A = this chain, B = another copy of it.
Amino acid sequence: MHSKPTMKDVARLAGVGTMTVSRFLNGTASVSKETAARVDKAIHELNYRPNEMARALRGRRSRSIGLILPYLYDTFFSGCGHAVSTVAKQHGYSVLITTSNEDPDTEFNEAALMLQRSVEGLIVIPANHGETRLNRALLGRVPLVAFDRPICEPAFDSVVVQNESGALRMVEHLIKHGHKKIFFMGMSAKVYTVHARLQGYLKAIAEAGLESYESFQCQTPESTLQEIEKHLRMKTPPTAYFTSNTLATRFVFTALLQLGVRIPHDAALAGFDDFELADLTSPSLTVVRQPAQEMGRVAASQLFERLKRGETGQPGCRTVLPVELVLRRSCGCEHEGAVVVQ
């Protein structure tokens, strides 16, 4: 056989019509046992595999979904991606993946391209909050689930974590350690999660009757270092830092070490988002742990639920997943190992 065998080839070999082969493969209608056996034999003999493009073109279903992440090299995002991919595989679906690089236009174009490829649904971590151009007009009837950051479009589902309350609880923890001047350090106020965590920080600070301090200079290691240097020159430098995400945590941690600040003695540190090796630094890092893979799993499940029900008009729902406080040493706790607070 030169090129790939088609359904016609199978039908001919089995001595039946193509529709019988199609029905056998899809279980759309009953096929007598005998013919089924003949068809099955022919399929194996030719090593026949249906052409998914033709299937998608003729039928309604492409058995594929699209996944758009800001980046793939970030552990958090790729962890989510792994979960989505796993769920899709369980449903027999393929995943088209792409990155938006946090750019709403790229995101829009990539989404459009995926729709051209007839994906049945889209799972997205939207680019910077409020700027996403994804909407019903673009998507038509195709369902979309946003996660990590919600989309303000009522028809889309969202899956997020307890950003605000997680931050609030962690800052409360720092306050319990006796800190009065706690700095919030973020990468960018434009990102939804950073903003939400800032709100939690502000609430905790306000409830304790303290003053709030925030900075969004954690763009690069250098800018972070400069910012922290500025703090050290203050009359009363901060005694604790709360960082908005992994990268901010890393940058602040590095800067503090470089500047000879002893953690947690001179300044305590706690961050949002756990990561590998956070327990191997010195001191080990206290963080809010969010369930990255679980979030991807739930988002994907939600999408497949919609696809199964075929209900497209349903309003979107928001799922909020719980976070945990992982208390290690950088906050000032002195117990051995890590204490996880649900």
* Closest Cβ–Cβ distance, residue A27 to chain B (whole Å): 18
Which chain B positions have C-beta within 8 A of A51? 57, 116, 118
A53 and B49 contact, CB distance less than 8 A: no
Known: A52-B118, A280-B253. A82 touches B86 (CB 8 A): no
A71 at the B interface (CB under 8 A) = yes
Question: Contact mask A28-69 → B, CB, 8 Å, 1/0?
Answer: 000000000000000000000111111011000010100100
A144 at the interface (CB under 8 A from B): no
Number of chain copies forming the complex: 2
Expressed in whole angstroms, the Cα–Cα distance for A140 and B3 within the complex equals 9
> What's the nearest-Cβ distance from chain B to residue A5, in Å?
11
**B97 engages A97 (CB within 8 Å):** yes
For A320, what are the chain B residues with a Cβ–Cβ distance below 8 Å?
none
> Could you say which residues of chain B place their CB within 8 Å of the CB of A64?
96, 117
Are B53 and A62 within 8 A (Cβ)? yes
CB-based nearest B residue for A292: B73
Check B112–A49 contact: CB distance below 8 A: yes
Say how far A294's CB is from chain B's closest CB, in angstroms: 12
A13 at the interface (CB under 8 A from B): no
CB of A245 within 8 Å of the partner chain: no
User: What are 24 A-B pairs at a CB distance below 8 A?
Assistant: A50-B116, A51-B57, A52-B113, A52-B116, A52-B117, A53-B57, A53-B117, A72-B78, A72-B82, A73-B75, A73-B78, A74-B78, A78-B78, A78-B81, A86-B99, A89-B110, A94-B113, A94-B114, A96-B96, A250-B277, A254-B280, A277-B280, A280-B281, A281-B281
